[in-house]
């Protein structure tokens, strides 16, 4: 279980700020069985009917596996979204030229920059498949909140994978234990940063 993360209302859209307390916390559980991970069972301090569940599988391909989660039940009621870390737009406030895979070139690995059609021509390549389920069972807000959360998760995944690619020179020589320690360090730093922002 991750430590509680304080969410400042300034990080929410105005329609959500109107119905949330000044400060609230989210905790989550995550299981890492690489190449399969689960993030789920989040608990929000004031919303018992809110849940996010993310399953992840990593495959050595360019995103062409069909129904990788073998979830026939959900096939009729889901949307498949391909994320292109080089060419999909990200929110302008998060854009950093040093984190743009179209211009980045790794000194240690020789990877990059990524050009149009890179998924079909770049090797080695790995795809991170995500199955994201969001539930917000509050009448009048359900659709809006669920769509908003899906959009935020998409942006987080896109930005995070852009950073993983463009920061490769910082982590490619790390052992798995060093990567885990770095993840923990970044999580603590992020929570401290969020905690220092007053509403």
In this prediction the pTM is 0.77
Q: For residue 85, count CB atoms less than 10 angstroms from its CB and return exposed for 0-12, middle for 13-18, buried for 19 or more.
A: buried
Please check the confidence at residue 158 and state whether its pLDDT lies above 50: yes
CA distance 35 to 100: 26
Mean pLDDT, rounded, for 117-123: 90
Among 26-40, 82-96, 122-136, 171-185, the minimum mean pLDDT is found in 26-40
Domain boundaries, the chain: 5-195
- Token output for 127: 């795809």
C-beta separation of 30 from 52 below 8 A? no
Q: In the chain, where does DSSP find H-type helix?
A: 14-17, 118-121, 142-166, 168-171, 176-195
Secondary structure class of 113 (helix, strand, coil): coil
Regarding the domain delimited by 5-195, which CATH topology (the fold level of the hierarchy) does it fall under? Alpha-D-Glucose-1,6-Bisphosphate; Chain A, domain 4 (3.30.530)
What does the pLDDT look like over 130-147, one tens digit per residue?
988 888 887 888 888 889
């Amino acid at each position: 279980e991750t430590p509680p993360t304080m969410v400042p209302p300034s990080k929410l859209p105005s329609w959500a700020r109107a119905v949330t307390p000044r400060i609230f916390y989210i905790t989550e559980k995550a299981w890492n069985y690489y190449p399969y991970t689960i993030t789920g069972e989040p608990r929000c301090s004031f919303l018992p009917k809110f849940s996010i569940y993310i399953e992840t599988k990593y495959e050595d391909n360019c995103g062409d596996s069909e129904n990788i989660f073998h979830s026939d039940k959900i096939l009729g009621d889901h949307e498949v979204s391909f994320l292109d870390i080089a060419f999909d737009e990200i929110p302008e406030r998060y854009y950093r030229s040093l984190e743009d895979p179209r211009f980045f070139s790794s000194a240690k690995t020789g990877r990059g920059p990524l050009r149009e059609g890179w998924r079909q021509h770049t090797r080695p390549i790995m795809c991170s498949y995500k199955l994201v389920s969001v539930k917000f069972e509050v009448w009048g807000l359900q659709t809006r909140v669920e769509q908003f959360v899906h959009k935020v998760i998409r942006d987080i995944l896109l930005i995070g994978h852009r950073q993983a690619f463009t920061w490769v020179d910082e982590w490619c020589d790390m052992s798995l234990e060093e990567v885990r320690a770095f993840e923990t360090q970044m999580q603590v730093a992020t929570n401290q940063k969020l905690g220092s922002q007053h509403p």
